A and B are shown apart, each in its own frame.
Chain A
Amino acid sequence: MAKYRGVMVFGEAKDGKLAVITTELLGCGRKLANDLGQEVCCLLVGANISSLAQEAIAFGADKVYVVDDQLLKDYQTDSYVSVVEQVARQVVPGVILLGQTAIGRDLAPRLAFRLGTAVTTDCIELAIDPDSKLLRQTKPVYGGNAQAIFTCASYPQMATVRAKAMSPLERDESRRGEVITIKASLDRQTIRTKVLEKVVEEVVGIKLEDAEVVVGGGRGIGSADGFKQLEELAKILNGAVGASRPPCDNGWVPTSYQVGLTGKIIAPDLYIAVALSGSSQHMAGCSGAKNIVAINKDPEANIFKQARFGVVADWKVVLSAFTSKLRELLAE
């Protein structure tokens, strides 16, 4: 498919900056483009986002397409699908990469169906097949119990990529690239949804996905009160508290604490998993941790398979003793 060329990264902004996931996608896209002997470009869609174009170049983009329009201030399925479709038909990339984020999860499937192609969501590895030159897309399936490698029979080949699965390039301000502005040509009438309000939960202390130490609790914690002990340990270690799905579903902690396939993806230096069985769905969100420590009374718990250190005992006894010993050690 000679006319489909290059890798296009759908960029996202976060707090006025280029989102970390976008830098990761550019790092991955750069490598794929090199293997194809083609270019990598970044598409920025939004309102007042033009200033991020140079940043995308510093992180590896050869070209940046900017669609800047007040109608694109909030992400809405209809407006974004329409704009990205229009750019994709104009640029004709061979590969489109998006983040497996709130936006990517919504945009990618609908865009793929609009373009008459398929997308593989939540990829953790992407490579160009040396023979066919097709994009080999690896994604966890069955809640992480297995992994599947797909190729796509139609163009553009599309993938969404899991956070922290790829490494960004070193930021280099001396890199040069081209910035191309594209008009949105949006008809307000075609946007069939209306954003009424956006509620962002305030995070006290370090954000879960940025923390170097995370203390995670599972079903075994048993109550909201139990999580207070985890908060205490996290505080000493300057870390954050996370949870598997059951504590969130039971309302012991806010849903924003959820780590896993459908929650946050974390990759801390240390993950202390407390009274948490280690279901595949949960491990999907924390398997990038450098060190996992498990505290669980069930020696058969799956978490021990991926942990480096473990204690088999009732978490309540272990955690308070562990916390006081750590206090002692850290005071030295």
Chain B
Amino acid sequence: MPSPESVNIYGEITSNFSRRGVIDAMNMIVCVKQVIDPEAPPASFKVDPANNKVVLPPGVSLVIDPYAEYAVEAALRVKDAHGGRITALSLGTELVPEVIRKPLAMGVDELILLEDEAFAEGDSWSTAYALAMALRKVGDYDLIFCGREASDWDAGQVGSGIAEILGLPSVTLARKIEVTDGKVRVERVIDDGYEAVEVSPPALITVSNEIGEPRYPTIKGIMAAKKKELIIWKPADIGVEPSQVGSAGRRTRLLKLFQPVHEGRCEIVGGESPEEAAANLAMKLREAKVL
């Protein structure tokens, strides 16, 4: 737990006892990422092979990463139950205001952006490092939430990386989170079910989709989000050199980015009616010795 006298970046006294009166009211930070809409049709997906980059196809929008939305939802549920405060933290470049403000519209209290060219094109290492340094600057937190992975690079490392850098315990792949008497019970998804794990704050939790659908922002929430002053931090604000973050801070090298080719030789089985087509399909599978 943070010391009782700590004051956060907003100049507020942040002790659990003096500010909130109850120990289960948590100070929470959620890391969110802006990505290309992963629900866009696969046919629209394009890679620029010369530059090893993904091209944003026309008509496809940028969104908050779906797993990060589950993380926001997880934090909001803890706040609904026990009170507390939620800050969203996002690292990126060319962040779209309407997109990146969505956590605010969902009910998050503050939004901090690490927005600078220096943060661009990092890998899990340099991204986790920058986020960890920003979290260290925020200082006062009980729980940090991340999505289990982001839908662009599907790495699933940044959460654990932040925890390691900050020396915090981590519980990954959460499907349910309950706070009781200052302790956190996390159900985490395992291969054939789940396990319940207990951890004491401060801790980092990565959230899986099993937590349940994120809430929709209300009209009131959207209006309030528009008026919120955003906090923007540059590398110097979090005490890092540009060479430690983004592409300069990478530990991995991307040699090649390409789209796998599918042969696309599907034999469409027809018939006079759907019933006949279905019967023909069964015969085909028999002929082809698939069955």
Contacts and interface: CB of A to CB of B under 8 A. Distances in A.
Interface string A314-326: 1001111110011
B161 A102 contact: no
A200 B189 CA distance: 10
A196 B149 CA distance: 25
Contacts, number: 260
Given A197-B195, A249-B209, A147 B260 contact: yes
B160 A311 contact: no
B164 A113 contact: yes
A310 B268 contact: yes
A199 B194 contact: yes
B190 A318 contact: no
B192 A256 contact: yes
Given A279-B42, A318-B274, A318-B278, A291 B290 contact: yes
A96 interface: no
B260 A118 contact: no
Contact of A145 (B45, B125, B157): B45
B274 A281 contact: no
Contacts of A109: 124, 155-157, 159-161, 164
B258 A147 contact: yes
A112 B157 contact: yes
A253 interface: no
Interface in A287-301: 291, 293-295, 299
Interface size on A, as a range, is 35 or more
B251 interface: yes
B252 interface: yes
Contact of A311 (B54, B154, B191, B277): B277
Contacts of B269: 309-311
Contacts of B266: 294, 304-310
A105 to B, nearest CB: 6
Contact of A113 (B128, B172, B254, B284): B128
Contact of B54 (A146, A196, A330): A146
Contacts of B170: 77, 106, 110
A314 B152 contact: no
A180 interface: no
Given A113-B164, A118-B251, A305-B266, A192 B199 contact: yes
Contacts of A199: 193-196
A189 to B, nearest CB: 13
Given A102-B188, A193-B169, 13 more contacts: A76-B197, A78-B169, A118-B124, A121-B156, A196-B198, A197-B195, A199-B193, A279-B42, A281-B151, A305-B264, A311-B278, A314-B274, A322-B278
Interface of A: 74, 76-78, 101-102, 105-106, 108-110, 112-114, 117-122, 136, 139-154, 192-201, 203, 237, 245, 248-249, 255-256, 261-262, 269-270, 278-281, 291, 293-295, 299, 302, 304-314, 317-322, 325-326, 329-330
14 contacts: A102-B188, A122-B154, A122-B156, A148-B153, A193-B199, A199-B196, A201-B192, A248-B210, A270-B291, A280-B42, A309-B285, A313-B274, A325-B279, A326-B282
